[in-house]
Structure 1
Amino acid sequence: MSVPSSCDVIVAGSGNAGFSAAISAAQSGARHVLLVDKCPEEWAGGNTYFTAGAYRTAHDGLLDLLPIVNNVSREQAAKIELGPYTERDFQQDLDKVCVGRSDPELAKALVSESNDAVKWLAENGIRFQLSFNRQAYEVNGKIKFWGGLSLKTEDGGKGLIADHQAAANRHGVRCLWSTALVGIAPPKRQGGDVLVTVRQGGVDHRIFTKGVILAAGGFESNSQLRSQFLGPGWDMAMVRGTPYNTGECLEMAIKSLGAQAVGNWSGCHAVAWDANANPDVGDRVASNEYTKSGYPLGLMINTEGKRFVDEGVDLRNYTYAKFGRAILHQPEQTAFQVWDAQTAKWLRSEEYREERVERITANTIEQLAEKCAARGLHDKKTFVNTIREYNEAVYAFQSENGPSGPRWDPTVRDGVSTQSASKQLALPKSNWALPLDQGPYIAVKVTCGITFTFGGLKVNPKTAQLIAASSGAPIPGVYCVGEMLGGLFYQNYPGGSGLTSGTVFGRRAGKAAARRAANPHYEDPPAVASRL
């Protein structure tokens, strides 16, 4: 497809945030919306393609969500326990996992518009489902959802991108692939055109437009920038998703446009990842199935035979995005996840089935240590002793509390732990602590898989318009959404809130860019005060 010389709005990036922005711009009156991405068409979708398609949203309970999902029968609905997840709940979760550092205006927008955002997506053909496989367990005949997260898209990120592409096509959005955004020159007068340069097939093309929306992702696929900003050892992290998120648009916005860099530049979303995966790029078939998030049901032990995290410190949705960092800091950046027969049956098949992962199995802990030693475990004796000491602590807890004590329940923080009056571990397991004493035993070798980086650019929360570092004024006609938006996540994030953020701020940016395109005398709004 030829490169046009002008358009109303250009979006750089084909992930959820980019498509949300493009569709929003078209719905808001922009007549010529162009989406460009430096990746070839077969790599469309950015990191979104590799997600499980989970959206965190405030809601009023099951009846609020049923109208937008397609996988709940009447019989199932009668068995589901899914209470309200309020805006207050969402805000508290965000404050807790991001240590109170999230920009308050960005956080307010994310939380307050989350419900409307997913319903807007549903209106545009995004197929939602209740996440039975990832976010619910059947306990005592009831399907219990947990962790404030219940929605996913049909076929995960793959289905989400397919639905976004269909919606964009219906709204007349043109997509140019293998087309990189390489330059932006803001207008010289109020309401003027932004001059954009794109590179396609080694040839540069100039495009005049009223609005540019940057949605090109972070720098997680760039090992040099990972080491520079995240710190030593991060060049060893495995890339979960697209190899095209290498940070050029971030650098261009900061150096050429003078955009203000904000947020947690040493922070990222990183998970326990299959150690046998390709280290440099995600698998477009296996996709998110290389994630290994069953650690709350068992133990994680490093190559020296020692535990290094409290696997039960919180529900998985609040720990999985930071535990990848913990694994990266272990010797050789690897660890073993371990379960026995009673806990292994609760593992999700899409992550742990034999067709997807190497399952190291044995009838005894000693045999398991021998087999793990062939795959990188250096201290078999400590490995065995770690599990034995853990079991002794669990037995002591069970003996002290008896039948009337806390009961094991994977859907809540159940308080079933290793800590009792007679025995306590230096590193506890605070919840879901069952003994590992029933063979056969299973271990899986994991490493750190990086998803996206948290450092980004400062924006006006109302419009997602970029803010200049030198003046604090908005940069005319330039907006920023998705992973490039800084100031929202710090150290960690509540699972599912990344996609929700992409849609919330993508919609705002699309509307603002369309307004600018429709009004030749448009004046950019002043910057919103922020503590960032």
Structure 2
Amino acid sequence: MTTHNDEQSTQSIDADVIVVGGGNAAFTAAHAAAKRGRKVLLLEKAPKELFGGNSFYTAGATRIPHNGLADLQSFIDDDDRHAATEVPPYSAAEYTSDLVKVTEGRNDPELTAVLVDEAADGLRWLNTLGLKYRLMYERQAYKRPDGTFLFWGGLHVGNTGGGEGLMADHVRVAQELGTEVRYGQDVFGLIQEGNTIKGVKIRQTDGTVQEIRAESVILAAGGFEANAKMRQENLGEGWENAKVRGTPFNTGEMITAALESGAAKGGDWGTCHSVQWDAFTANNESNRELTNRLTRQSYPLGVIVNRDGKRFLDEGEDFRNYTYAKYGKVILQQPGSIAYQVFDATLRPALRTEEYDMPGISVEQADTIEELAAKINVSPEALEKTINDYNTSIDTSITLDPTVKDGRRADTVPVKSNWATPLITAPFYAYGVTCGITFTFGGLKSDTHGRVLNEGGESIPGLFVCGEMLGGLFSTNYPGGSGLAAGVVFGRRAGALA
């Protein structure tokens, strides 16, 4: 028993490796350590019924380089549609280029190289342990007139059952590998002797503190996106109003604990992953039933207007995979932090079924733009002018093709670079959206093996990091699916050393 000042402590429980967190990265790290014969203890802050971290709330999409469908078939589920499916290869060079492009060159090149090199192998390894993967037809493919399917945007593979299936698989594998998983564990601090981490401190419901000691501690407890005060301090004014898409337990406490133990900050603390999120549906934060279905990601096909009835961004700048994680911030900056995605009857059937046909969705419908404006409390004159300027500026001589950047522009202000279609067929639809925060990009600095570094660039003995706590990969934006991929790659690396 160890006592620190007036804190009481119960008997220490030894383990070789302690993993703090309960999402994809945490469980991947635990699996890697357990496969080496290590005694692993995984401590999850959430109660068992709220397990899974942010990963539970995802669609399970995971970005990997590959050489096309034949290269993927060894580890993805069989599907009768495969015979009529085209999956373009996605090279390592394209993956790297996409990361550099969307982060505006602020991604760590060494971390990036490891991610790109090991992402595909990481999924294949997890598949051998029992995780299941599939092609994401409903999110990443368009059905062509001849009945065949074409995948687009570099993001093709996801977990069977989405985020819920991903985390159920992880829990089952952990049990099979002998990893002890404890829920409701409020880990708040690290045990440090000299410059070496020796374990963790857990806050008990009665106020006492339990210390658990281990040879290594892997931090995988997420960012600070569920902490309104930290969001405001680091992301700026207004961010305290963002909706939390995922787990309410990622409050940044373990990031703070690591910094107090000498860890250096890593990555971009001033930006985050945020998306267009249903603005008015009840229970639109941390909703475990609807999870990812509260996103509104068919926006490249229509237009987005604010409460003044004006467009304010290029909906067709690039494929959704490369813009959705930054446009939430732009919505937050609009009057009232609200905007509306507008479509007509021609476009409505092309919207993602799992998102735009969900129960209780925030949507208004009208037979004219004037009536639609009244329903969403926008100036009818302003909205009619915006839609008319948009409609009349489109080069309709170019064929609409959502599977490629088709160059079908709306030459208005701001320009819409691709997929512009006149909104002329009633009824018209307006979907209210706000900013939903997914995870913060700032975290701890580490080497490519997840060893946490101090301000002098030296590793802190016994301390590792992975998942959203690992800073350096993303800034401003990120390519869809690269977050789960990073959790696999760097979770596996940390578990291989811890």
Place the TM-score, normalised by the shorter chain, in its bin.
Answer: over 0.9
Q: Secondary structure of 2:347's partner? A: helix
* CA shift in 2, pair 1:3/1:417, >3 Å: farther
Question: Partners of 1:349 and 1:359 in 2: how far apart?
Answer: 14
Partner of 2:6: none
Count of residue correspondences: 487
Partner of 2:452: 466
Partner of 1:411: 403
Among candidates 150, 155, 166, match of residue 160 of structure 1: 166
Question: Partners of 2:332 and 2:362 in 1: how far apart?
Answer: 20
Among candidates 226, 230, 234, match of residue 225 of structure 1: 230
The answer on 1:310 being equivalent to 2:302 is no
* CA shift in 2, pair 1:46/1:3, >3 Å: farther
Partner of 1:522: none
Shift of residue 83 of structure 1? 1.7
Once the two structures are overlaid, the 10-residue window that deviates more, 117-126 or 220-229, is 117-126
Partner of 2:45: 38
Q: Is the 8 A contact 2:197 2:217 kept in 1?
A: no
Among candidates 417, 424, 429, match of residue 416 of structure 2: 429
* CA shift in 2, pair 1:496/1:313, >3 Å: same
The answer on 1:197 being equivalent to 2:205 is no
* CA shift in 2, pair 1:26/1:416, >3 Å: same
Please list every run of at least 4 consecutive aligned residues from structure 1 whose deviation after the TM superposition is greater than 2 angstroms: 185-189, 199-203, 277-281
Per-residue Cα deviation, 1:28-64 (whole angstroms, up to 9, x for no partner)? 221x100002211111111111001000000111011
The answer on 1:97 being equivalent to 2:83 is no
The answer on 1:496 being equivalent to 2:481 is yes
Question: Partners of 2:262 and 2:31 in 1: how far apart?
Answer: 28
* CA shift in 2, pair 1:320/1:3, >3 Å: farther
Partner of 2:83: 78
The answer on 1:475 being equivalent to 2:460 is yes
Question: Partners of 1:188 and 1:282 in 2: how far apart?
Answer: 39
Per-residue Cα deviation, 1:267-294 (whole angstroms, up to 9, x for no partner)? 0000000002457831000110000011
What amino acid is the match of 1:407? T
Partner of 2:155: 149
Partner of 1:338: 342
Among candidates 90, 112, 116, match of residue 107 of structure 1: 112
What amino acid is the match of 1:158? E
Partner of 1:422: none
* CA shift in 2, pair 1:289/1:72, >3 Å: same
Q: Secondary structure of 1:488's partner? A: coil
Shift of residue 101 of structure 1? 1.1
Question: Partners of 1:327 and 1:94 in 2: how far apart?
Answer: 23
Partner of 1:447: 434
Q: Secondary structure of 2:399's partner? A: coil
Q: Is the 8 A contact 2:284 2:294 kept in 1?
A: no
Q: Secondary structure of 1:439's partner? A: coil
Shift of residue 360 of structure 1? 1.0
Q: Is the 8 A contact 2:223 2:255 kept in 1?
A: yes
Partner of 2:299: 295
Q: Is the 8 A contact 1:272 1:320 kept in 2?
A: yes
Q: Is the 8 A contact 2:197 2:461 kept in 1?
A: no
1:247-262 equivalences under 5 Å are: 247-255=252-260, 257-262=261-266
Q: Which runs of 5+ in 2 are unaligned?
A: 1-9
* CA shift in 2, pair 1:193/1:489, >3 Å: closer
Shift of residue 148 of structure 1? 0.2
1:318-357 equivalences under 5 Å are: 318-353=322-357, 355-357=359-361
What amino acid is the match of 1:385? K
What amino acid is the match of 1:51? T
Q: Is the 8 A contact 1:300 1:307 kept in 2?
A: yes
Question: Partners of 1:301 and 1:280 in 2: how far apart?
Answer: 21
Q: Secondary structure of 1:17's partner? A: helix
Partner of 2:388: 388
Q: Secondary structure of 1:244's partner? A: coil
Partner of 1:28: 36
Among candidates 179, 183, 187, match of residue 185 of structure 2: 179
Question: Partners of 1:466 and 1:84 in 2: how far apart?
Answer: 35
What amino acid is the match of 1:331? P
Shift of residue 295 of structure 1? 0.6
Partner of 1:47: 54
Q: Is the 8 A contact 1:79 1:143 kept in 2?
A: yes
Shift of residue 359 of structure 1? 2.5
* CA shift in 2, pair 1:124/1:312, >3 Å: same
Question: Partners of 1:324 and 1:123 in 2: how far apart?
Answer: 37
Per-residue Cα deviation, 1:199-245 (whole angstroms, up to 9, x for no partner)? 23333212221110000000000111101000010011111011111
Partner of 2:4: none
Shift of residue 3 of structure 1? 8.0
> Percent sequence identity over matched residues?
45
> What do you get for the CA RMSD once the two structures are aligned?
1.5
What amino acid is the match of 1:507? R
Question: Partners of 2:330 and 2:136 in 1: how far apart?
Answer: 27
What amino acid is the match of 1:467? L
Partner of 1:65: 72
Shift of residue 4 of structure 1? 5.8
Q: Secondary structure of 2:297's partner? A: coil
Q: Is the 8 A contact 2:18 2:199 kept in 1?
A: no
What amino acid is the match of 1:318? Y
Question: Partners of 2:281 and 2:52 in 1: how far apart?
Answer: 20
Q: Secondary structure of 1:182's partner? A: strand
Question: Partners of 2:82 and 2:368 in 1: how far apart?
Answer: 41
Q: Secondary structure of 1:258's partner? A: coil
Shift of residue 198 of structure 1? 1.8
Shift of residue 305 of structure 1? 0.4
Question: Partners of 1:272 and 1:124 in 2: how far apart?
Answer: 35
Q: Is the 8 A contact 2:266 2:446 kept in 1?
A: no
Q: Is the 8 A contact 1:238 1:278 kept in 2?
A: no
Shift of residue 426 of structure 1? 2.4
Question: Partners of 1:204 and 1:499 in 2: how far apart?
Answer: 33
Q: Is the 8 A contact 1:312 1:431 kept in 2?
A: yes
Q: Secondary structure of 2:116's partner? A: helix
Shift of residue 19 of structure 1? 0.4
Q: Please, what TM-score do these two structures have when normalized by structure 2?
A: 0.95
Q: Secondary structure of 1:367's partner? A: helix
Question: Partners of 2:360 and 2:458 in 1: how far apart?
Answer: 50
* CA shift in 2, pair 1:264/1:27, >3 Å: same
Question: Partners of 1:416 and 1:212 in 2: how far apart?
Answer: 52
Among candidates 223, 235, 248, match of residue 243 of structure 1: 248
Among candidates 354, 362, 365, match of residue 361 of structure 1: 365
